[in-house]
Amino acid sequence: MNGSFWQHFRRNYSSEQSFGVNFWLSFANNCLNCVHNLPQNMSKKKGLSFEEKRTRMLELFHEKKEPFLLKELEKLGPKLKGVVMQSVKEIVQSLVADDLVETDKIGSSTYFWSFPSKALNSKLQRIEDLKAKIADTKQKTLIIDAELKKVEAQSVYKMRDSALYKEDWLGLKELDTSGRLREYEVIGDHLQIDMNWFDNEIIDKYLK
C-alpha cells in the first residue's frame, strides 16, 4: 500500500472499534489502485507462431550440425530455442515434409539432421521449380491466346459474305468495286464506337 493510505489509516482508524465498514471500503479501494498500477509488462508473453517455431528449430539444426533423435530435439527445442516440447515433433515433421530436414532410420532409431548447405540447395531447387512453372504457364497462355484469336476470327461476321453487301442494299458493293469504300478497325463492340474517333476520322474527313 502507498504512504497516503497508511496516513489515512492512522488518522481515521486509531482504535479497534474503527475497523468497520468504512475501513474495509478504504482498504479495498487502495488494493484496487495497487492492482491497476501494476507494470504492463507483467502480462503474459505472447507465444511463438508456427513459422517462428519452424525457423528456430531449423536454426538449431544448422548451428549444431549433427544428427539428433526426436527425444533429443524435444529437450533442446525448449532449452535453446524456446519451442515447447509438445510442438517439437510437429515442427520437425513439417520441416521434413518441406525437404528442409533429412531423416533416416538406423537400426531401431530415427535420426534427423539438416546442414546450411541443404537449406540453400533446397531454396535454389525451389527457385528452379518455380521458374519452370512460370515458363510452362507462359507457354500455355500463348497457346490459349492463339486459340482465342482463332475463335474470334471465325466468329466475326464478314461484310462481303452478307446479303446486304452481295445484293447491294445500301450501295456498299458499288462503292467497294469503284474503290470508294473505306474500312477501319476500331476498338469496341458492334456500334460501340468512340465518338472522339468518329468525329476525327469520319465527320472531319468526309462530312465537313
Please say which residue of 87, 114, 141 terminates a domain. 114
Residue 42: its pLDDT value, please? 47
DSSP state of 16: G
DSSP string of 89-138? HHHHHHHHHTTSSEEEEETTEEEEE--HHHHHHHHHHHHHHHHHHHHHHH
Please say which residue of 92, 114, 136 terminates a domain. 114
For residue 14, being part of any structural domain is answered with no
Span 171-200, pLDDT tens digits: 888 988 998 888 888 777 666 788 888 888
Same domain membership, residue 96 and residue 85 = yes
For residue 3, being part of any structural domain is answered with no
Span 42-97, pLDDT tens digits: 445 678 899 999 999 999 998 998 999 999 999 999 999 999 999 999 999 999 99
Rounded mean pLDDT, 103-115:
91
Same domain membership, residue 190 and residue 168 = yes
Number of structural domains (the chain) is 3
| Model confidence at 114: pLDDT above 80 | yes
State which residues form the domain around 166.
Answer: 159-206
**Alpha carbon distance 64, 113 (integer Å):** 9
At residue 168, what is the residue type?
A: D
- Write out the three cell numbers for 24: 474495509
Same domain membership, residue 106 and residue 67 = yes
- Write out the three cell numbers for 151: 475463335
Using DSSP, state whether 182 is helix, strand or coil: coil
- Exposure b/e, 179-199, CB count within 10 A at least 16 = b: eeeeeeeeeeeeeeeeeeeee
For residue 147, being part of any structural domain is answered with yes
For residue 82, being part of any structural domain is answered with yes
Same domain membership, residue 99 and residue 71 = yes
Instruction: Answer whether 115's CB lies under 8 Å from 131's CB.
Output: no
For residue 40, being part of any structural domain is answered with no
Q: Residue 77, class by beta-carbon neighbours within 10 Å (0-12 exposed, 13-18 middle, 19+ buried)?
A: buried
Task: Give the list of residues 6+ apart from residue 164 with CB closer than 8 angstroms, or none.
Answer: 170, 172
| Start-to-end C-alpha separation, the chain | 97
User: Against a cut of 0.95, is the pTM above it?
Assistant: no
For residue 26, being part of any structural domain is answered with no
For residue 70, being part of any structural domain is answered with yes
Residue 22: its pLDDT value, please? 63
